[in-house]
């Protein structure tokens, strides 16, 4: 471990707008894990950095320190290009279930370590576990062998992957230091770099339902993440996409799996399908495929059923019931109460994306705190988007609830979440910017 350094001196320099060197940051993170720097000192340094800002070089150094704090996944020797896709989180975002099989069907090796949901954003692992029998806890050898065999595995990250980030994030959460682009980027990229893939595509969300509220902040985060990845020798790109309204028609664990399967089966159109194809093509482009060819190959793999078959192999390999591919609702859990709601006649003018995610969580689809149980059956379906004309006779929201009382509580909120107007309004653009792709 480099150093030692005087921690109060580092805090003071950061407080006054100075920059910390790579060796100083490496020492700080290692000393914090070892207990030589305490929570109060690290919180003070984080707050100084949030106020003064961290440089790109500091973000790169922090990411390197995160990766060095734990294990790394060794993907060397796999027979195709290794690819990872990461979303910064949102509402109704189950793109992994379409994009990962698409990439595997196109010859990529997708070794994806995912997490669980917290707050208004859903978790990939929770959604997959709504498939009966599906396990996300894979030993390292099994994880690697499965990727080598079918080109795809989705598993829970162990506590030995970037432990410094987990420890630091818990401190940031209780000290008001989450909202820092450099800290967010280092957290995201630390996990991606430790995951071992040589090609990393980021889906950076912007809007009401995302951590980045507007394009400027989203693009800045995307550029920083791409800089960190490229500095580490990984081919990295980013798509900045809209989260001012839910991405897919479903918000909830089993509901989102069903949507993904129906998309893979060619039974769904719309924003979700379009973004899945865009992300798959962008990731393929990072591996060296020209953009036009990548778009065509992704569309063909979705339309000819190769991606669907790869998803079936994923489910089978991880112990899930493969009948979910043929008839999702023959195996997925259903909520006992389904209620419909409409805002009346007009054109959809606004959808409170974050609030819809919170309401799905209120039904039991998400967690308020780590350790809470999720109900895989409950959630919301949204059948219209901003700019769509609707009538009072057509349901715009379907509520999947555990009880009538739960459904009533959601209905009482929806008029403040989904608004209509008489005048036409333009639909919202799906992709706002690209960094390093397209």
Rounded CA-CA distance 347/393 in Å is: 14
Question: What 3-state DSSP class applies to 427?
Answer: coil
Active site residues: 86, 165, 172, 187, 191
pLDDT at 76: 83
First to last CA, the chain: 41
DSSP H helices, 69-214, are 96-105, 124-128, 140-150, 163-175, 181-194
DSSP class of 402: S
Query: β-strands 397-401, 379-382: how paired?
Result: antiparallel
Categorise residue 72: left if φ over 0, alpha if ψ from -120 to 50, beta otherwise: beta
Contact 382, 394 (CB under 8 A): no
User: Across-strand partners of 206?
Assistant: 212, 242
Give dist(CA 250, CA 397) in Å, integer: 10
Per-range mean pLDDT, top range of 19-23, 72-76, 111-115: 19-23
Token representation of residue 217: 């902040």
Which band of pLDDT confidence, cut at 50, 70 and 90, is reported for residue 79? confident
- Pick the residue with more confidence: 372 or 23? 23
Rounded to whole angstroms, the Cα distance separating 294 from 282 reads 7
Please name which of 188, 98, 111 lies closest in space to residue 144, comparing C-alpha atoms: 111
Number of residues assigned to the chain? 438
Q: Is the pLDDT of residue 88 over 60?
A: yes
User: The tokens of 305 are what?
Assistant: 């059923």
Spatial distance between the Cα atoms of 60 and 57, rounded to a whole number of angstroms: 5
pLDDT at residue 236 tops 70:
yes
State yes or no: pLDDT of 353 exceeds 60.
Answer: yes
Specify the DSSP element, H or E, that contains 390: strand 389-390
Backbone angles phi, psi at 35, to 5 degrees: 85, 5
Determine contact, residues 43/171, Cβ cutoff 8 Å.
Answer: yes
Query: For 220, how many CA atoms within 13 A lie in the half-sphere containing its CB?
Result: 16
Cis ω before 121 (30° cut-off from 0): no
* Measured distance CA(306)–CA(166) in Å, rounded: 37
Q: Which two tokens stand for residue 186?
A: 């280092």
Mean pLDDT of the chain: 93
Predicted local confidence at residue 394, as pLDDT: 92
Kindly provide the b/e burial profile for residues 355-381, where b requires at least 16 CB atoms within 10 angstroms of the residue's own CB.
bbbbbbbbbbbbbeeeeeebbbbbbbb
Which of 159-163, 215-219, 243-247, 368-372 bottoms out in mean pLDDT, i.e. has the lowest? 368-372
pLDDT at site 280: 98
Task: Answer yes or no: is pLDDT of 2 > 90.
Answer: no
Q: Helix, strand, coil % (nearest 5) of the chain?
A: 45, 15, 40
> If pLDDT is split at 50, 70 and 90, which confidence band does 381 have?
very high
Q: Which domains does the chain have, with CATH numbers?
A: 7-53 (no CATH), 82-326 (3.40.1030.10), 337-421 (3.90.1170.30)
Residue 90: pLDDT band (50, 70, 90) is confident
pLDDT confidence of 438, banded at 50, 70, 90?
A: confident
Q: Is the pLDDT of residue 1 over 60?
A: no
Segment 310-315 mean pLDDT: 98
Region 56-84: mean pLDDT is: 93
Contact predicate 345/410, CB 8 Å: no
- Over residues 381-409, the mean pLDDT reads 96
Higher pLDDT, 1 or 357: 357
- Between helices 163-175 and 39-52, what is the axis angle to 10°? 70
Count CA within 13 A, CB hemisphere, residue 41.
Answer: 16
Q: Is residue 105 very low, low, confident or very high in pLDDT (cuts 50, 70, 90)?
A: very high
Residue 332, pLDDT > 90, answer yes
Residue 206: predicted pLDDT: 96
pLDDT tens per residue across span 173-222: 789 888 789 999 999 999 999 999 999 999 999 999 888 889 999 999 99
Give the orientation angle of helix 39-52 with respect to helix 7-15, to 10 degrees: 20
122 pLDDT exceeds 90? no
Q: Residue 120: what pLDDT?
A: 61
C-alpha to C-alpha distance for 170 and 414, rounded to whole angstroms: 33
pLDDT of residue 118: 57
Q: Is 288 exposed, middle or buried (0-12, 13-18, 19+ CB in 10 A)?
A: exposed
CA–CA dist 324, 345 (Å, integer) = 36
- Return the CA Rg of the chain: 22
Q: Tell me what pLDDT residue 318 has.
A: 97
Q: Residue 428: phi, psi to the nearest 5?
A: -85, 135
pLDDT at 167 over 60: yes
Compute the CA torsion angle 413, 418, 423, 427 (nearest 10 deg): 170
Where helices occur in 243-303 by DSSP H, the ranges are 253-264, 271-286, 291-303
Structure tokens at 267: 């039974």
Element (H, E) at 346: strand 346-351
Kindly state the helix (H) or strand (E) to which residue 418 belongs, with its residue range. Answer: strand 418-421
Task: Please report the pLDDT score of residue 159 as a whole number.
Answer: 73
pLDDT at residue 3, as a whole number: 62
What is d(CA 385, CA 249) in angstroms, rounded to the nearest whole number?
9
Most confident range, picked from 201-215, 257-271, 367-381: 257-271
Residues with Cβ < 8 Å from 417, sequence gap 6 or more? 351, 352, 355, 356, 359
Q: Please give the model's pTM, rounded to 2 decimal places.
A: 0.93
């Amino acid at each position: 471990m480099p150093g030692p350094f005087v921690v109060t001196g580092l805090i003071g320099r950061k407080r006054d707008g100075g920059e910390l060197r790579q060796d100083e940051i490496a020492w700080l993170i290692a000393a914090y894990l070892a207990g030589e720097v305490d929570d109060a000192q690290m919180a003070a340094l984080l707050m100084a950095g949030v106020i003064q800002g961290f440089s790109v070089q500091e973000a790169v150094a922090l990411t390197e320190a995160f990766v060095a704090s734990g294990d790394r996944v060794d993907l060397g020797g796999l027979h195709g290009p290794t690819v990872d896709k990461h979303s910064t989180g949102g509402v109704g975002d189950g793109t992994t279930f379409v994009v990962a099989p698409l990439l595997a069907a196109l010859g990529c090796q997708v070794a994806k370590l995912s997490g669980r949901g917290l707050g208004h954003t859903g978790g990939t692992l929770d959604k997959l576990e709504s498939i009966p029998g599906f396990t996300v806890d894979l030993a390292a050898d099994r994880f690697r062998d499965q990727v080598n065999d079918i080109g795809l595995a989705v598993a829970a990250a162990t506590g030995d992957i970037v432990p410094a980030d987990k420890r630091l994030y818990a401190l940031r959460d209780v000290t008001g230091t989450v909202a820092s682009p450099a800290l967010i980027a280092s957290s995201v990229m630390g996990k991606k770099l430790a995951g071992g893939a040589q090609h990393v595509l980021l889906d950076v969300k912007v809007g009401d339902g995302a951590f980045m509220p507007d394009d400027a902040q989203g693009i800045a985060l995307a550029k920083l993440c791409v800089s960190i990845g490229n500095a580490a020798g990984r081919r990295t790109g980013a798509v900045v996409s809209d989260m001012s309204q839910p991405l897919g028609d479903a918000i909830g664990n089993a509901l989102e799996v069903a949507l993904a399967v129906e998309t893979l089966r060619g039974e769904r159109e719309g924003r979700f399908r379009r973004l899945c194809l865009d992300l798959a093509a962008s990731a393929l482009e990072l591996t060296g495929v020209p953009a036009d060819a990548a778009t065509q190959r992704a569309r063909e793999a979705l339309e000819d059923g190769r991606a669907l078959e790869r998803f079936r192999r994923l489910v089978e390999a991880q112990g899930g019931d493969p009948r979910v591919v043929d008839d999702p609702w023959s195996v997925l859990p259903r909520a006992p109460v389904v209620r419909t709601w409409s805002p009346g006649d007009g054109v959809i003018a606004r959808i409170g994306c974050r609030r819809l995610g919170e309401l799905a969580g209120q039904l039991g689809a998400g967690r308020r705190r780590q350790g809470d149980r999720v109900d895989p059956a409950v959630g919301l379906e949204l059948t219209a988007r901003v700019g769509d004309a609707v009538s009072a006779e057509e349901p715009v929201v379907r509520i999947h609830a555990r009880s009538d009382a739960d459904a009533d509580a959601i209905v009482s909120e929806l008029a403040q979440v989904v608004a209509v107007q008489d005048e036409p309004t333009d639909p919202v653009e799906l992709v706002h910017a690209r960094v390093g792709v397209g």
